[in-house]
């Protein structure tokens, strides 16, 4: 076992949090650590998925004495419906994020708030969709493609356009299993229809629709979110940044962006760098302006501008507890309502911006693409003017940060790995160098590690522990979301330091390509990038996705979105390992369908593995990768 001397340990992160919790106590602030205690133990019916409250005859809770709800639904139907509703919530959320991005694309104009930053990508997608591009103005094309993308949400006939990106083998599996997603809104809506009182209670039908709704997210709404964010804001390229709470700066105005939609944070970043705003901050006694981020909004601006990452999901209260946060500006998703009352204990302005995320005790500045510049400027100004209200005796920014190289879009990965082997590359590049590393055994395989934090798991310990284990075993890690930020905070994205902890093969690849062994691929919607990468690897090798030595893992997941993600990753043929139970253990039939050898595995050639013992989860992941290698004879 290596001595991970250069990384930031979980203990150091906890010590930093504890010092912030002392401030919380001083000012009488409520924190999630306390609320977890108040909520423990959790309801056993809820945890096993056996509580039904979809009509007003109940709620019905299934026990040995009462094996059916009042309508007669058994435990398998109840657990299955709950699982499907969870998925629909996640698919709706990710996809609606994608829809907002499409609307923003529709608003682009040469001198507007939003412009087309990656015209090549736009043209590539247009060609893929059979749209004539020759001689067309790029903004006319942007508007045409945006409208086509928006129609994917409600088209009356046909299936999602992006499905054609999958290998033919995968497309056939989806077709045969009848899980090809049609219009995105239709899949969400049909999921809620099926789980309504008096509709489906057949486990197989519920799980099949859960996969279909998940696919409408991963190969529909999320993919639109990612692709058109790239068109709007630029396709990420490797860029250096820093991560952990110490990126906030004591003498500067600190603005923290939090949420998911880059349309807002891009503008905040732009105006925070405006010389006029910097001069204004100086006139207010600050040395400058620091924008940092939390959750996926942070990933978006880190990948494109090198904006530092202050923390992930369970760190969102920490940024306020530093006493040095002038404004925490949020858009949508993963935002604790607790930030309202917490901010009131400090001078912090808690600014909500979206009609989709209205939260008590916040200041609401409605953000829209038409007025984006003015909105962002007003927010930055508000933060600057709040600097003077700081209480110096409450300021405590723990000195914890690590360097991180981020920005590994599929395009970037293909490009950097081309330096490792001398394969021929076509116009858009190829994954062949990566495949050569895997088939030769230099790399044993890859893990896509994604997802949130969850107080049920010691924060970040599962992400970081599993990543270290993979690196030592020559397994490269690709990551998004809060898992990515966990890696960055620990130092696993510092190419110089992290390579020292890899097995010999992975270390060599990292040195030759100048990459860290844990690759930051973006935010939650960017898991669609991982699907594209898997599809390209399969097409370039002729090996079905399910046979590649690649697995997915969400060891600390918590949100409905994560269940939707899990469903589309599994449905894409990638075995997916969870460290938190998805509220299904109350039904042997649903568990069998999701984790057995003859459920979803028969339809899509992959399944879930759930193990809350993280060490054992890691062993199973490695065993799965090695078994796939053995089956391929490599």
Please give the radius of gyration of the chain, using alpha carbons only, rounded to the nearest integer: 24
Residues 350-389 as x/- pattern, contact with ligand MSK by CB under 6 A: ----------------------------------------
Beta strands 445-449 and 475-480, pairing class: parallel
C-alpha to C-alpha distance for 591 and 585, rounded to whole angstroms = 6
Torsion on CA atoms 510, 512, 515, 518, rounded to nearest 10: -20
C-alpha to C-alpha distance for 581 and 46, rounded to whole angstroms = 12
Q: Which of 179, 452, 527, 534 lies at the binding interface for ligand MSK (CB under 6 A)?
A: 452
Q: H or E stretch including 61?
A: strand 60-61
Q: Is the distance from CB of 348 to CB of 108 less than 8 angstroms?
A: no
CB of 527 to ligand MSK, least distance (A): 10
Q: Which is nearer to ligand MSK, 126 or 452 (CB)?
A: 452
Joined together, the tokens standing for residue 116 give 């087309």
Minimal CA–CA distance to 526: which of 235, 330, 161, 211?
235
CB of 593 to ligand MSK, least distance (A): 24
Residues 246-285 as x/- pattern, contact with ligand MSK by CB under 6 A: --------------x-------------------------
**What number of other Cβ atoms are within 10 A of residue 422's Cβ?**
10
Q: Which is nearer to ligand MSK, 99 or 561 (CB)?
A: 561
Give backbone dihedrals phi and psi of 478, rounded to 5 degrees, phi first. Answer: -110, 145
Contacts of 550 (CB under 8 A, 6+ apart): 445, 446, 447, 448, 534, 537, 574, 625, 628
- Decide if residue 73 touches ligand MSK (CB under 6 A): no
Q: Which is nearer to ligand MSK, 191 or 523 (CB)?
A: 523
Please list every residue from 288 through 307 that binds ligand MSK, using CB under 6 A.
295-296
CB of 484 to ligand MSK, least distance (A): 8
Tell me, rounded to whole angstroms, the distance of Cα 417 from its chain centroid: 24
Joined together, the tokens standing for residue 597 give 């050898």
Q: Which is nearer to ligand MSK, 163 or 558 (CB)?
A: 558
Q: Which is nearer to ligand MSK, 265 or 559 (CB)?
A: 559
CB of 211 to ligand MSK, least distance (A): 20
CB of 482 to ligand MSK, least distance (A): 3
- Decide if residue 122 touches ligand MSK (CB under 6 A): no
Task: Tell the residue number behind the tokens 């909004």, with chain if given.
Answer: 297
CB of 10 to ligand MSK, least distance (A): 18
Q: Is the distance from CB of 543 to CB of 434 less than 8 angstroms?
A: no
Half-sphere exposure of 81 (CA within 13 A, CB side): 24
What is the DSSP code (8-state) at residue 221? I
CB of 187 to ligand MSK, least distance (A): 20
Q: Which is nearer to ligand MSK, 489 or 499 (CB)?
A: 489
Q: Which is nearer to ligand MSK, 463 or 607 (CB)?
A: 463
What is the DSSP code (8-state) at residue 74? B
Q: Which of 203, 451, 505, 566 lies at the binding interface for ligand MSK (CB under 6 A)?
A: 451
Q: Which is nearer to ligand MSK, 339 or 482 (CB)?
A: 482
Q: Which of 307, 330, 420, 482 lies at the binding interface for ligand MSK (CB under 6 A)?
A: 482
Q: Which is nearer to ligand MSK, 354 or 473 (CB)?
A: 354
C-alpha to C-alpha distance for 364 and 354, rounded to whole angstroms = 8
Please tell me whether residue 254 adopts helix, strand or coil conformation: strand
- Decide if residue 214 touches ligand MSK (CB under 6 A): no
Please tell me whether residue 280 adopts helix, strand or coil conformation: helix
CB of 345 to ligand MSK, least distance (A): 23
C-alpha to C-alpha distance for 280 and 282, rounded to whole angstroms = 5
Q: Which is nearer to ligand MSK, 241 or 298 (CB)?
A: 298
Q: Which is nearer to ligand MSK, 188 or 482 (CB)?
A: 482
Q: Which of 153, 313, 387, 568 lies at the binding interface for ligand MSK (CB under 6 A)?
A: 313
CB of 229 to ligand MSK, least distance (A): 14
CB-based burial of residue 586 (10 Å sphere; 0-12 exposed, 13-18 middle, 19+ buried)? buried
Q: Is the distance from CB of 625 to CB of 444 less than 8 angstroms?
A: yes
Please tell me whether residue 343 adopts helix, strand or coil conformation: helix
CB of 554 to ligand MSK, least distance (A): 9
Half-sphere exposure of 216 (CA within 13 A, CB side): 34
Q: Which is nearer to ligand MSK, 513 or 524 (CB)?
A: 524
Q: Which is nearer to ligand MSK, 55 or 359 (CB)?
A: 359
CB of 167 to ligand MSK, least distance (A): 27
Torsion on CA atoms 492, 498, 502, 506, rounded to nearest 10: 90
- Decide if residue 468 touches ligand MSK (CB under 6 A): no
CB of 296 to ligand MSK, least distance (A): 3
Q: Which of 29, 334, 584, 624 lies at the binding interface for ligand MSK (CB under 6 A)?
A: 334
Please list every residue from 150 through 179 that binds ligand MSK, using CB under 6 A.
none
C-alpha to C-alpha distance for 340 and 198, rounded to whole angstroms = 40
Q: Among the residues of 348-398, which ranges form H helices?
A: 372-386
Q: Among the residues of 54-202, which ranges form H helices?
A: 75-106, 119-128, 138-151, 168-176, 184-194
Give backbone dihedrals phi and psi of 383, rounded to 5 degrees, phi first. Answer: -65, -45
- Decide if residue 457 touches ligand MSK (CB under 6 A): no
Minimal CA–CA distance to 313: which of 165, 454, 152, 501?
454
* Count, residues near ligand MSK per rule CB under 6 A: 14
CB of 43 to ligand MSK, least distance (A): 22
Please list every residue from 551 through 580 that binds ligand MSK, using CB under 6 A.
559, 561
Q: Which is nearer to ligand MSK, 225 or 481 (CB)?
A: 481
Minimal CA–CA distance to 121: which of 105, 97, 103?
105
Please list every residue from 521 through 550 that binds ligand MSK, using CB under 6 A.
523-524
Please list every residue from 12 through 71 that binds ligand MSK, using CB under 6 A.
none
Contact residues: ligand MSK, CB under 6 A = 260, 295-296, 312-313, 334, 451-452, 481-482, 523-524, 559, 561
């Amino acid at each position: 076992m290596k001595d991970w001397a250069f990384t930031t340990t979980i203990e150091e992160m906890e010590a930093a949090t504890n010092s912030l919790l002392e401030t919380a106590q001083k000012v009488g602030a409520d924190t999630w650590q306390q609320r977890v205690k108040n909520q423990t133990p959790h309801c056993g019916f809820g945890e096993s998925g056996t509580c039904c409250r979809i009509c007003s005859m109940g709620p019905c809770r299934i026990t040995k004495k009462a094996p059916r709800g009042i309508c007669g639904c058994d435990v398998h139907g109840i657990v299955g419906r709950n699982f499907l509703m969870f998925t629909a919530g996640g698919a709706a959320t990710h996809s609606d994020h994608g829809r907002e991005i499409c609307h923003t694309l529709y608003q682009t104009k040469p001198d507007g708030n939003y412009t087309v930053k990656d015209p090549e990508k736009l043209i590539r997608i247009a060609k893929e969709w059979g749209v004539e591009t020759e001689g067309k103005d790029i903004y006319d094309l942007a508007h045409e493609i945006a409208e086509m993308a928006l129609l994917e949400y409600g088209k009356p006939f046909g299936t999602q356009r992006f499905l054609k990106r999958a290998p033919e083998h995968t497309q056939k599996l989806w077709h045969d299993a009848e899980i090809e997603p049609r219009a995105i809104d239709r899949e969400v809506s049909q999921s809620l229809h099926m789980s309504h009182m008096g509709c489906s209670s057949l486990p197989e039908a519920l799980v099949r629709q859960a996969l279909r709704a998940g696919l409408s997210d991963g190969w529909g709404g999320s993919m639109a979110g990612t692709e058109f964010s790239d068109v709007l804001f630029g396709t990420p390229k490797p860029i250096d940044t820093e991560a952990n709470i110490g990126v906030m700066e004591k003498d500067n105005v600190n603005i923290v962006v939090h949420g998911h939609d880059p349309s807002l944070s891009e503008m905040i970043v732009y105006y925070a760098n405006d010389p006029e705003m910097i001069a204004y901050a100086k006139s207010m006694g600050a040395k400058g302006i620091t924008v940092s981020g939390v959750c996926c909004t942070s990933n978006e601006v880190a990948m494109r501008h090198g904006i530092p990452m202050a923390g992930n999901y369970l760190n969102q209260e920490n940024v306020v507890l530093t006493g040095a946060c002038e404004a925490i500006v949020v858009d949508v998703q993963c935002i604790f309502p607790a930030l309202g009352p917490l901010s009131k204990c400090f001078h912090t302005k808690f600014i909500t911006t979206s009609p989709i995320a209205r939260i008590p005790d916040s200041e609401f500045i409605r953000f829209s693409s038409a007025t984006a510049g003015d909105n962002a400027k007003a927010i930055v100004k508000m933060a600057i003017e709040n600097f003077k209200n700081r209480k110096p005796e409450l300021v405590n920014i723990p000195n914890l940060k690590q360097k991180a190289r981020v920005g590994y879009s599929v395009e970037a990965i293909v490009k950097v790995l081309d330096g490792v082997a001398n394969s021929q590359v076509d116009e858009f590049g190829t994954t062949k160098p990566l495949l050569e590393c895997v088939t030769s055994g230099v790399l044993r395989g890859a893990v896509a590690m994604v997802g949130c934090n969850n107080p049920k798991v010691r924060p970040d310990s599962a992400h970081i522990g599993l990543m270290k284990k993979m690196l030592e075993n020559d397994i490269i890690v690709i990551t998004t979301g809060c898992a990515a930020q966990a890696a960055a905070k620990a130092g696993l994205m510092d190419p110089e330091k992290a390579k020292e902890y890899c097995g010999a093969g992975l270390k060599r690849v990292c040195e030759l390509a100048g990459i860290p062994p844990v690759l930051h691929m973006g935010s939650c919607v960017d898991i669609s990038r991982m699907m594209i990468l898997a599809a390209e690897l399969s097409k370039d090798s002729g090996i079905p996705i399910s046979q590649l030595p690649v697995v997915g893992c969400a060891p600390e997941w918590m949100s409905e979105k994560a269940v939707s993600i899990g469903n589309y990753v599994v449905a894409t043929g990638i075995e997916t390992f969870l460290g938190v139970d998805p509220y299904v253990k109350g039904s042997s039939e649903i568990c069998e369908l999701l984790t057995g050898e003859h459920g979803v595995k028969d339809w899509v050639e992959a399944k879930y593995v759930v193990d809350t013992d993280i060490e054992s989860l890691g062993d199973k992941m490695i065993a799965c990768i090695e078994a796939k290698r053995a089956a391929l004879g490599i």
